[in-house]
Amino acid sequence: MLGDRFSNAQPTWSADGRKIVFVSNRAGHENLWDIDISSGELRQLTSAPERIYTPSSSLTGSLAFADFSHQTDLYLLHVDSGAEERVTFHKGDNFDAHFSPDGKNLVYQSTRTGDYEIWLLNIASKDEINLTDNPAIDIKPDWSPDGQRVVFLSNRDDAFHLWVMNADGGNVRRLTEQPVPLPTDFWSYSLKVRWAPDGKTIGFIAHGSEGRALWTVDSDGTNARALLLGV
């Protein structure tokens, strides 16, 4: 769809499914753009002086993203009005945010405590909860379609595995039997964990001996399989 010389990355669907939101440097710095999939019309959504990463769409039409202009904090973009709202105010990196299915909460990763943890933010009240709160590296969260659980990557058993917990941080359990191989830059924006809309499977990117591959595993932890190599 975009065969140009610019960097175009981290795509996500708009709420109405008519556009693709992505990060591009076509105006200089990395900012959010969208493209109409029917007309091909491009629109710049943000004008940050440095870098913007990890966009995520809500069903209500808002976008969450991380702004690296000063410190890495999360912002909301109300697409209809163009208004931006900063929602985190912490030292450290705060990014990879995802809206809960009802649009009321964000789950994201943060280094504000000195290591990578999964946090929950109530958008209305701005209350925040550390869902993981342990010395391990906990990254790449995503919601189950019913909003009751959160899947994430963690090395709390020495190697990285997929883990699942309740949306309040309780009932944490390991999902995968075999470790998920990751690159040394495990925080990379190209790494994704996504719960399928039907709730039955979870997709993730692993970096094994044959390179990067797209894997899926059933939501009960069974039937892990590689679907695409070299993604």
Please report, for the chain, the start and end positions of each structural domain, with discontinuous segments joined by +. 87-229
- For the whole model, what pTM was predicted? 0.90
Confidence (pLDDT) at 186: 60
Q: For domain 87-229, give the CATH number.
A: 2.120.10.30
- Could you tell me whether strands 42-44 and 31-36 are parallel, antiparallel, or unpaired per DSSP bridges? antiparallel
- Looking at the DSSP bridge assignments, the partners of residue 105 are 122
Confidence (pLDDT) at 90: 84
Confidence (pLDDT) at 143: 98
Confidence (pLDDT) at 209: 65
Give me the tens of pLDDT residue by residue for the chain, a chain 231 residues long: 677 778 888 889 998 889 999 999 988 889 999 999 999 999 999 998 888 888 999 988 899 999 987 678 999 999 888 899 999 998 889 999 999 999 999 999 999 999 999 999 999 999 999 999 999 999 999 999 999 999 999 999 888 999 999 999 999 999 998 888 776 666 565 678 999 999 999 999 887 666 778 889 999 999 988 887 755
Nearest to 211 by CA among 226, 196, 192, 223: 226
Read off the tokens for 23.
């990060």
Amino acid residing at 46: T
Confidence (pLDDT) at 154: 94
Confidence (pLDDT) at 184: 64
Confidence (pLDDT) at 231: 54
Confidence (pLDDT) at 75: 93
Sign (positive/negative) of CA torsion 132, 96, 143, 156? Answer: negative
- Asked if 22 and 1 touch (Cβ cutoff 8 Å), the reply is no
